Chain A
Amino acid sequence: MAADRDSAILTADDVTVRFATPEGVITAVEDVSFAVEPGEFLSIIGPSGCGKSTLFNVIGGLLTSHQGTVRVAGEIISGPHPSIGMVFQEESTFPWRTVSDNVAFPLELVGMPKRKRIERARRFIAMVGLAGFENRYPGELSGGMRQRVALARTLASEPKILLMDEPFAALDEQTRLLLGDKVLQIQQQLRQTTLLITHNITEAVQMSDRILVMTYRPGRVKRIVDINLPRPRDSEIVGSEAFGRYVAQIWNDLREEASRGMRDAETHALDHEAPP
């Protein structure tokens, strides 16, 4: 299912990012182009160091020193765009706010009256399965619950595109699968266009309509894989034969890149080893 660029809600064209380092200029991402249809779930997968997080920052508008263009509904973005809601890899809830106040944060910014925003926040808190925890502080919650608060906060801003950077990377496998179910359920319920950055093949296959596989540095598009698994899905699909085939296919693509990454890291470590 290739995305039609005319109907796409998000497009990236020839995005290239270079960083100056003490060892010279490094090309983190090179000529990356793709399009995302409204309501689609696209995952971007690649080995460590392939520029996934750089791409996340470019699409989210946090990194503007890049070549190429990113468009939201045809509009070139030059900074954080109100249509894009970001969920970060690191724990990002505000520890000084209750769950309810965290989720109501974007509503407070647009000047919504307190009663209304708390009411609205409740809806999103229930959506991520945290009803009853409205008055707790993040410090009283587990890592998985805190990530759900961050997700609810982003959803409360009602973004057209949900952009997530390995949101479950710090969680254990079981929690990750269950939270994957929750994200899928919400995505299907809201028909939310979602872009997930991940290095986890299972997670990507479980949730995506398409998976964009990236090469190791410089990060380029290696292949885009359509995932033709039935919807609605949940984590039970992980046990199916078709699922296994997709995982094997993507691992096949990734193995070579991951090996390159590992070799590069080893060479780098040897180069920096102090002489005897």
Chain B
Amino acid sequence: MSDRLSRSRLAPAAAGLAAVGLGLAAAEIMIRADWINRFIVPPPSEVARGISRIVLEEHIGHRFLLTAGECLAAGLMITVLGVAAGVLIHRFRLLRQATETWIAAWAAAPVVLAYPLFMVIFGRNAWTIIMIGFVAALPPVILKTIEGLSTTRKVLVDVGRSFNLTGTQQFWKILFPAALPTIFVGVRLGLIFALINIVGVEFLINSGGLGQLINDLAERYDLAGTYAAIFFVVLVSVAFFMTLERIERWLRPID
């Protein structure tokens, strides 16, 4: 029974890894057969060698931690301030009517292009990068928090009312836990926005981190190294997603 259970838990991860492996093998074959130009896409085997090379030559650990740290700072800010803003906007109908469309429009704005303005305000340092990540990633968290709170089933709110809950109890014991899965969708989306913008700004302003490394390697036309650096960006993303998943499971063990 427990064997079957552990097998069923491992199966999705194994299937996912197998799919990635098959994709990489197919890419390797197509590149080696010259169906894909190797000067545009390097073979995965060269990228794999590139990973060990950039680890040794490009201070990848430091860069990885810098990008991950910036992403963590922006992620914490969007979670705390985005959820708080969402709660506030949900609470006051007028505020919601006045701002929701603007926030949705802001989500589509290419905030990264405003990097010169952020550099003037914060200087050429990590704060510029964190703040661009934060500003770009805030809208999905706010919007999803509003959505989660407003779509809480009426019957759950009525249960709270029938037990004479105060407004604060109604929020913490019913509305917030009911909205958590949707809020987490917002935080996940926000983290994607934050990471894209953080790596993009690092690339643009050459201020350390994985984005700067990708820029350097691309300019040296080291394609294998460029793709290897991108692999580390994916690793940052995976690390954050796994952490978030664990936090969500801890807060809401099952739905």
Contact = CB atoms under 8 A, between A and B. Distances in A.
A43 interface: no
A60 B169 contact: no
Given A80-B161, A109-B165, A137 B155 contact: no
Nearest to A150: B159
B254 A137 contact: yes
Nearest to B158: A62
Interface string B158-193: 110111110001000110011010000000000000
A62 B161 contact: yes
B156 interface: yes
A86 interface: yes
A139 B255 contact: yes
Contacts of A140: 254
| Size category of the binding interface on chain A | 20 to 34
A105 B174 CA distance: 11
Interface stretch (A66-74, A91-99, A215-223, A236-244): A91-99
A157 interface: yes
Q: How would you classify the secondary structure of chain A's contact residues: helix, strand, loop or mixed?
A: loop
Contacts of A82: 164
B59 interface: no
Interface in B37-78: none
A106 interface: yes
B252 A96 contact: yes
B177 A96 contact: yes
A95 B254 CA distance: 7
B32 interface: no
A90 B155 contact: yes
Given A95-B254, A139-B254, A86 B169 contact: no
Contacts of A34: none
A62 B255 contact: no
Contact of B163 (A95, A106, A137): A106
Given A62-B158, A137-B254, A94 B164 contact: no
Interface in A122-165: 137, 139-140, 157
B151 to A, nearest CB: 14
Nearest to B177: A96
A168 interface: no
A77 to B, nearest CB: 12
A82 B165 CA distance: 11
Contacts of A85: 162
Interface in A41-97: 60-62, 79-80, 82, 84-86, 88, 90-92, 94-96
A95 B158 contact: no
21 contacts: A60-B162, A61-B162, A62-B158, A62-B162, A79-B164, A80-B161, A84-B162, A85-B162, A86-B159, A86-B162, A91-B155, A92-B158, A94-B178, A95-B252, A96-B177, A96-B178, A96-B180, A96-B252, A96-B254, A106-B163, A137-B254
Interface of B: 153, 155-156, 158-159, 161-165, 169, 173-174, 177-178, 180, 251-255
Given A88-B159, A90-B155, 16 more contacts: A61-B162, A62-B158, A79-B164, A80-B161, A84-B162, A85-B162, A88-B155, A91-B155, A92-B156, A92-B158, A96-B251, A96-B254, A105-B163, A106-B163, A109-B163, A140-B254
Q: Lowest 4 A-B CB distances belong to which pairs?
A: A137-B254, A86-B162, A90-B155, A96-B177
